[in-house]
C-alpha cells in the first residue's frame, strides 16, 4: 500500500471494529461529508486510490478492504448469508467511525461485487444511506446459474455458479503470487484482458500496484474462491457454503428486495459499454461460454441460456422506480469493467456531480 499512501492527500490506516480489523484508505477532512468506496472481487481499496485523491475537498472519502482482501483481517466468509458478511463488516466500520446519526447519512459507491455489498447495506439500513453509485455492479440475483430477468435458476441446485466456477490455474497462480505475463491465466494478464478493455493498460507504477492488489487476495475454501460442491447437472459444479464466489451465487445472493426499501436513496448506475465480466454475454458466465462452444456439453438455450445480467439489474431498478425511487443509468463508451480506472475523467464528472446533488 506504500504507493497509494504517496498519492497526495490519501492516507492509510487500520480501524478495529466490533467485527474485524479493517484497513482503509482515506482522503479529505475528518468532518467532511462521508463517502464510502467498496471494491470488487480479487482486488482491494487500491483500485479506488486515484479516485480518492481527486475527490473534492468537502468529502471524507473512505475505501475499505473487504475481509480476505488487501490489508484487512482475514476471516471466513459464510456464503449462506450472501453479501451480508461484507455488508455487516461495512456497517461495523461506519459505526466505529461514527459516520451516521439522526442528521447525517453516508453515500456509498460499490464496484462489481462491491455494488452487491452496498445494495445489501441499503436493504438492511436504508435510513443511513443518502445515495448509491453502482459501478459495473454484481447482478441482483448473483453471478451465474440463472436464466431470465426474474432470476429463475437454470437448475434447482444452481449448478454453474459458486466456487467451482473459478479457473483452477488462475486460482493457483493467484495463490503462488504470480506477477508474470507468461500465461493467459496469470493475474496480470487476466486483469489487462478483462478488468479493462484492451488495449487499455494503466501507467506502469499503477499497474504494479493493481497486480499487488490482486495478489493480496486470500485464497482458500473460506475466502476466494470458496469451497466446491459437485453436481449431476451441467456443468458439474454447484455452490458450496463458504467463500466469496459462493457468497454471490444465486442460491444465497438475492438483492431483489432492494426494489422495496424505504426510504429510497437516489441511485446512479455506471457501466462500461464493453464490459466482459458483468454483461449479457459475459465471458465469465458458463451459460454464455457453453453457447459459444467454449465449455462442452451445454444443454441448450432452453435449459441454460446466458445470464441476462444487465437485464436483471435494470428489472430490479425499474421496480424501484415504479415504487417512487429514482435511478439513472450511464453507459461509458470504449470502456470495460472498470470505468473509474479506464475513463477517470468521465467517471469523476458523473460521480462528483451526483455526490454534490446528495450531500
The residues with which 134 forms a beta bridge, in sequence order, are 110, 269
Domains of the chain, earliest start first? 2-149+253-357 (3.40.50.1820)
Q: Give the C-alpha separation, 187 to 214, whole Å.
A: 7
Mean pLDDT confidence for 113-140 = 98
The angle at the Cα of 339, spanning 49 to 71, to the nearest 5 degrees, equals: 30
Mean pLDDT confidence for 255-284 = 98
Q: Give the residue among 191, 141, 357, 153 at the shortest CA–CA distance from 267.
A: 357
- 268 near 261, Cβ under 8 Å? no
- Strands (E) across the chain are located at 11-16, 21-27, 33-38, 59-64, 106-111, 129-135, 219-220, 224-225, 228-230, 237-239, 266-272, 327-332
Give the model's pLDDT for residue 6.
60
Query: What does the mean pLDDT of the chain come to?
Result: 96
What DSSP string describes 203-233? -HHHHHHHHHHHHTSPEETTSEE--EEE-SS
Q: How far is CA 58 from the centre of its chain?
A: 26
Say if residue 174's pLDDT is above 80: yes
- What cell does 323 get? 415504487
Going by pLDDT thresholds of 50, 70 and 90, the confidence category of residue 5 is: very low
Q: Give the C-alpha separation, 138 to 114, whole Å.
A: 8
Share of the chain above pLDDT 90, in %: 96
Give the model's pLDDT for residue 267.
98
Q: How far is CA 45 from the centre of its chain?
A: 11
Say if residue 2's pLDDT is above 70: no
- What cell does 116 get? 452487491
CA distances from 294 to 157, 180, 248 (A): 22, 25, 23
Q: Pseudo-torsion of CA 245, 200, 48, 352, nearest 10°? A: -120
Give Cβ neighbours of residue 340 (< 8 Å, ≥ 6 apart). 47, 48, 50, 51, 111, 135, 347, 348
Going by pLDDT thresholds of 50, 70 and 90, the confidence category of residue 1 is: very low
Say if residue 4's pLDDT is above 80: no
- What cell does 3 get? 504507493
- 313 near 140, Cβ under 8 Å? yes
**What's the start-to-end Cα distance of the chain, in Å?**
29
Q: Give the residue among 123, 127, 117 at the shortest CA–CA distance from 93.
A: 117
- What cell does 262 get? 424505504
Single pTM value for the model? 0.97
Q: Give the C-alpha separation, 69 to 73, whole Å.
A: 8
Amino acid at each position: 500500500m506504500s504507493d497509494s499512501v504517496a498519492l497526495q492527500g490519501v492516507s492509510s490506516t487500520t480501524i478495529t471494529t466490533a467485527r474485524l480489523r479493517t484497513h482503509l484508505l482515506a482522503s479529505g477532512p475528518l468532518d467532511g461529508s462521508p463517502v464510502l468506496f467498496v471494491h470488487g472481487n480479487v482486488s482491494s481499496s487500491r483500485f479506488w486510490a486515484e479516485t480518492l485523491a481527486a475527490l473534492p475537498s468537502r468529502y471524507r472519502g473512505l475505501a475499505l478492504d473487504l475481509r480476505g482482501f488487501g490489508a484487512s483481517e482475514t476471516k471466513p466468509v459464510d456464503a449462506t448469508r450472501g453479501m451480508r458478511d461484507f455488508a455487516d463488516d461495512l456497517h461495523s466500520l461506519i459505526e466505529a467511525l461514527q459516520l451516521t446519526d439522526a442528521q447525517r447519512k453516508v453515500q456509498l459507491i460499490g464496484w462489481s461485487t462491491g455494488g452487491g455489498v452496498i445494495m445489501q447495506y441499503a436493504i438492511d439500513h436504508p435510513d443511513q444511506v443518502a445515495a448509491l453509485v453502482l459501478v459495473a455492479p454484481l447482478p441482483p440475483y448473483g453471478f451465474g446459474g440463472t436464466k431470465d430477468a426474474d432470476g429463475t435458476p437454470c437448475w434447482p441446485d444452481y449448478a454453474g455458479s459458486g466456487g467451482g466456477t473459478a479457473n483452477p490455474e488462475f486460482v493457483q497462480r493467484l495463490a503462488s503470487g504470480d506477477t508474470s505475463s507468461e500465461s493467459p491465466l496469470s493475474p496480470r494478464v487476466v486483469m489487462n484482458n478483462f478488468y479493462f478493455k484492451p488495449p487499455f493498460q494503466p501507467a506502469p507504477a499503477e499497474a504494479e500496484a493493481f497486480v499487488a492488489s490482486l495478489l493480496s487476495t486470500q485464497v482458500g475454501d473460506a475466502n476466494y474462491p470458496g469451497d466446491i460442491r459437485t453436481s449431476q447437472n451441467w456443468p458439474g459444479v454447484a455452490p458450496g457454503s463458504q467463500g466469496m464466489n459462493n457468497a454471490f451465487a444465486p442460491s444465497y445472493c438475492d438483492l431483489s428486495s432492494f426494489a422495496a426499501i424505504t426510504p429510497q436513496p437516489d441511485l446512479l448506475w455506471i457501466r462500461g459499454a464493453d464490459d466482459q465480466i458483468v454483461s449479457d454475454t459475459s465471458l465469465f458466465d458458463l451459460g454464455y461460454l457453453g453457447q459459444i462452444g467454449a465449455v462442452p456439453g451445454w444443454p441448450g438455450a432452453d435449459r441454460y441460456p446466458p445470464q441476462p445480467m444487465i437485464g436483471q439489474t435494470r428489472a430490479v431498478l425499474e421496480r424501484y422506480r415504479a415504487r417512487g425511487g429514482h435511478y439513472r443509468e450511464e453507459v461509458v463508451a470504449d470502456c470495460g469493467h472498470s470505468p473509474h480506472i479506464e475513463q477517470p475523467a468521465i467517471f469523476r464528472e458523473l460521480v462528483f456531480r451526483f455526490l454534490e446533488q446528495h450531500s
